[in-house]
Amino acid sequence: MPADAPFFSVEGLAKHFGGVHAVQGLSFTLSRGEIVGLIGPNGSGKTTTINMVTGALKPDEGAIVVEGADMARSPAHLYARRGVARTFQVPRLFRRMTVLENLMVPALSDATARHGPAEERAREVLGFLRLDHLADDYARSLSGGQQKLLELGRALMLKPRLLLLDEPFAGVHPRLLEQIAEHIRTLNRDGHTIVLVDHNLEAIQSVVQRVMVMARGRKIADGAAAEVLQDPEVVRAYTGTRVH
C-alpha cells in the first residue's frame, strides 16, 4: 500500500431489511492511528454499520477495504485475521467461565496457539485493564462496567490494529466510565485505530477529535467534533427542532 493510502475505507455501503433501508450510500475513510466517534439518534444505522464492517452482516452494496483488500463479502474470522476487532452493546461473555478463561478463548481459537503464551498474554491484558485481581472470578459476578472492560480485553487478545467499540460507556458507573475512556486514549496513543459508537456525547468529546454523524441510514456530517456537534442538521437530527 502507498504510505498515504487509507488504512480502512468504506464506499457506497448499503443494507436493507425488507423495505427498511438501514444504511444507504455510506462512505468514509480512516487513517492509521485515528480515533473517530460515530454518533446518531437511535435507529440511525450505527450498529448495522459496525456489524457490516466486522463481517457479522454482509452488505447489499458497497466495498469495505482493509489495507487494500476488499473484505465486503468476507466472514468475521477473516476480518479478525486482518486485525479488525469489535465489542458489543451488550457484552457477550461466557458467564460460567472465569475472567481469565474468557480472555483466553479468543487467543486459543487459533489452532497454532499454545496455552502458556495465551495465558501470559491474558494476564498482561488483565493488568492493563486493572482487572488482574478478578482473574479467578466468574464473569457473571462482574459489574456492568467490569463486563465492558472484559469485553474490551477479549478484543485486545486478538492484537487488533482497528478497534470498533459499540456503546462502551452505556450503563457504566462514572468512575469506571472514566477508566474505560482512559484505556481508549492509551490504546489510541499506542497506535490503535479506533471507531467509538456511543450516545454519551460528553464522553465521546473527551476521547475523539473527529466525529461522524448518521441519521436515517445516511452520513449527515463528518469533521471536527466541536464543529459537527454545532451543525444545525446534526442538532435537528437529535432534537427534531430547527436551529436558527
Written as nine digits, the cell of 66 is: 482493509
How confident is the model at residue 244, as a pLDDT? 44
Query: Which pLDDT score, from 0 to 100, does residue 243 have?
Result: 46
The C-alpha cell 471536527 sits at 224
CB atoms within 10 A of CB 181: 19
pLDDT at residue 111 in the model? 57
100 in helix, strand or coil? Answer: helix
The pLDDT score that the predictor gives to residue 3 is: 53
* Calpha distance 47→197 (Å, rounded): 8
Taking only the tens of pLDDT, the chain with its 244 residues reads 555 567 899 999 999 998 899 999 999 999 999 999 999 998 999 999 999 999 999 999 999 999 888 999 999 989 998 999 999 988 889 888 999 999 988 776 665 667 788 888 899 999 999 999 999 999 999 998 899 999 999 999 989 999 999 999 988 888 889 999 999 999 999 999 999 999 998 999 999 989 999 999 999 999 999 899 889 888 888 866 554 4
For residue 28, give the 3-state DSSP assignment. strand
Phi, psi of 64 (to 5 degrees): -125, 110
Q: Given this model, what pLDDT does residue 90 score?
A: 85
Helix axes 115-129, 174-189, angle to 10 degrees: 120
How confident is the model at residue 2, as a pLDDT? 52
The pTM of the full predicted model, rounded to 2 decimals, is 0.89
